[in-house]
Structure 1
Amino acid sequence: MGGLEETVVLVTGATGFIGSHLVKRLVGEGAEVNIISRSKEIRGNLLLKNLKTEIRIHKADLREYASIKECVNNVEPEKVFHLGAFVDLKRDFQTANECVQTNIQGTLNILHALRDISCSSFIHIGTYEVYGFNPVPFREDQPIDPLSPYSISKACSEFFCRFANKIYNIPTVLLRLSNVYGPNQKSERLIPHVIKCAIKNMKIKLTEGNQTRDFLYVEDAVSAIVKSSLAEKAISEVINIGSGKEYKVRDVVQKILDLMGSSIAPRYGELKHRAYEPERLYCDITKAKGILKWSPRYDLEEGLRKTIHWYEENMGR
């Protein structure tokens, strides 16, 4: 398995949470990093603002084929990391149109643009939410059962990636990530929300908190993404990326508060649990360990400590 030094890479969704961590890693690996962004200006992303001189920013919109085609032709990427997506936190049907335009049409646009480019790997970042109410731990050979506009759109994108693999011979790798957390994540997510509330001594309103999730530290997620782009055996495969462990939301919240020395009492049950949301989500990562020779480096406590430290250092910046 070679490295990424001087490899021309293209990253969609680079200004997002996982995307910005990936860009930082790719720059550190010595890759020639190109990113797609709707704006040439990178505002509000603490990770990327110090990397502006080390990356090339291409103004383009995933929803507009002409701009994506022009970008791909100019870059001629050897590897593509497709993280660009509309992330619907509410999982609300009213957002279905945006999910279709960005997540499905956007994926189609970049796949079409790549059909005459000889890239060595196309990494599609999906979600383990496509498994829906399947028995846990989720395995890659289980039938998918997406239950929200977001997960439906990501599942549909996977099918188009498989189609492009067969028709255009684009070497696609389909990763299904669990709940990724870490520095620089938006506060709408559980872990940064609890951390910020604890720092500001604010009320923490949550659902009952009995649901379980698979939480993965972002540096581990990025490591898996990079390894998937270098592993020939990963081509045409679907691979789960997670901690492989199941954590109750209540326990994670309490762990954060304990690590921060906070006495705030979370107000469980003040937020409604979505009726169609599975009670348990976590994945089997045996395949990732075998094909990618990857396993998580950080346990939950260590990942939370690093995340808490970052927010304590950067809140308000």
Structure 2
Amino acid sequence: MKILITGAAGFIGSHLSEYFLNETEHDVIGVDGFVREELSVIGTRNIASILQHPRFTLIRANMLQLDWTKALDGVDIVYHLAGIPGVRSSFGRSFANYADSNILATQQLLEACRGTKLRKFIFASTSSVYGEKAGQVSEDAALTPLSPYGVTKQTGEQLCRVYRVNDGVPTVVLRFFTVYGPRQRSDMAFHIFIRSMLKDEPISVYGDGTQTRDFTFVSDCVRGTASVALQPGLIGETINIGGKERASVNEIIQLLETLTGKQAKVNYTGTTRGEPKHTWANIARAYQLLGYEPAVTLATGLSLELDDLKKLYS
């Protein structure tokens, strides 16, 4: 098969590209515009191991300016992972960029997929679409996002439904729950905490640190995500991709203190604007449809991310 992955130089996209190249015989076309400032610096590092792979082709282009007719020629599977992430930065004037990258680019790609022989269009969504929920959250829960970012991803999901119902685009939606691990974005909590501790700098924690997350290690996320392409059917499904363990922010900091052998200097500040207090994925559907079972513990996953960031900041 020929698999096209948007956002291929990003955190999850680079790992997914590696998986298909190293674990299967499929060809991978990576699309990335290196739009975010961070990616212009680290994107090449993320995909350094596959740039010269004989089954990998990189299209470096802004999705809004790409000739999709040419890019989609012969493609069997599309993974649409590209977009602007981040909750707090989606408020204010920057929302226009979120709308362009997360809504308009998604619509243009779906439009280009009409009438093709595509087998699946897999859209990467987020737990942010759920908003504040109590207990485990299943895929049929009401969507009440708390941030403009969550609204853009919910809109992307609805666009997938519209193009599936009206034009037969074979869409599948995956909702990721707080993915972490090597190559994690520099604006995400674990990356910030580890970098600060390595540099003996204080850590700023929004709220009181008792908020909990369903943390998903990137290799678990990628295995679940990749299995969607390899599993027959699934068209029209929405599937949670969650982790093995939940923990509070304070518990994460304590674990990092153990792993680094350093005492964290924590400053509690501000509020968690646009973020739910707790997230917890019900992954029964992922297990039923994909055989998905996350395997990596928090201690192991954090240790692997710590090793990667030591190399990055050495």
TM-score, normalised to structure 2's length? 0.91
User: Residues of 2 paired with 1:264 and 1:43: CA distance?
Assistant: 28
For residues 230 and 168 of structure 1, what CA distance do their matches in structure 2 show? 23
Q: Who is 1:232 aligned against?
A: 232
Distance between the aligned counterparts of 1:117 and 1:308, measured in 2? 43
1:17 to 11, 27, 39: 11
The aligned runs of 1:51-62 (5 Å cut-off) are: 51-54=50-53, 55-62=56-63
Instruction: Name which of 298, 303, 306 aligns with 2:304.
Output: 306
Unaligned runs of 5+ in 2: none
Q: How does 1:166-181 map to 2 (within 5 A)?
A: 166-181=165-180
Out of 16, 20, 26, which is 1:31 matched to?
A: 26
Residue of structure 2 equivalent to 1:247: 247
Distance in 2 (CA, whole Å) between partners of 1:295 and 1:9 is 24
Cα gap change, 1:117 to 1:312, in 2 (>3 Å): same
- Taking the aligned partners of 1:69 and 1:99, their CA distance within structure 2 comes to 24
In the alignment of these two chains, the number of paired residues is 305
Matching residue of 1:106: 105
Structure 1 distance, partners of 2:5, 2:191, is: 25
Q: How much has 1:42 moved relative to structure 2?
A: 7.5
SS at match of 1:215: strand
Separation of aligned partners in 1, 2:108 and 2:61: 11
Structure-2 separation of matches of 1:233 and 1:305: 37
User: Whole-Å Cα distance in 1 between the matches of residues 156 and 266 of structure 2?
Assistant: 37
- Aligned residue identity for 1:31: H
Partner of 1:146 in structure 2? Answer: 145
Give the equivalent residue in structure 1 for 2:121: 122
Q: Distance in 2 between matches of 1:47 and 1:275?
A: 30
Mean Cα displacement is larger for which, 115-124 or 86-95? Answer: 86-95
Asked if structure 2 preserves the Cα contact closer than 8 Å seen for 1:174 and 1:236, the reply is: yes
- What's the secondary structure of 2:3's corresponding residue? strand
Paired with 2:167 and 2:102, the residues of 1 have a C-alpha distance of: 20
Query: In the alignment, is the contact (CA less than 8 A) between 1:79 and 1:229 conserved in 2?
Result: yes
Q: 1:215 maps to what in 2?
A: 215
Aligned to 1:44, what secondary structure does the other structure show?
helix
Is 2:276 the counterpart of 1:278?
yes
1:83 to 75, 81, 84: 81
Q: Is the 8 A contact 1:245 1:282 kept in 2?
A: no
Query: SS of the counterpart of 1:50?
Result: coil
Task: Tell me how far 1:136 sits from its aligned partner.
Answer: 2.5
Output the amino acid matched with 1:62: M
Question: How far did 1:232 drift?
Answer: 2.4
Distance in 1 between residues matched to 2:30 and 2:41, nearest whole Å: 14
Secondary structure of the 1:234 match is coil
Aligned partner of 1:137 in structure 2 is 136
Write the deviation string for residues 41-83 of structure 1: whole angstroms up to 9, x where unpaired: 975232312311222112332223x52333223xx21111100
The SS at the match of 1:213 is strand
On the 8 A contact 2:201/2:265 being kept in 1, the answer is: no
Q: Once the two structures are superposed, what CA deviation does each residue of 1:182-233 show, in whole Å capped at 9, x if it has no partner?
A: 1111222111111111111111121221111111100000001001112224
Q: C-alpha distance in 2, partners of 1:192/1:163?
A: 36
Superposition misfits of 4+ residues, deviation over 6 angstroms = none
Q: Cα deviation per residue 1:229-284 (whole Å; 9 max; x = unaligned)?
A: 122242210100011643111111211121111122322x23x1134422111211
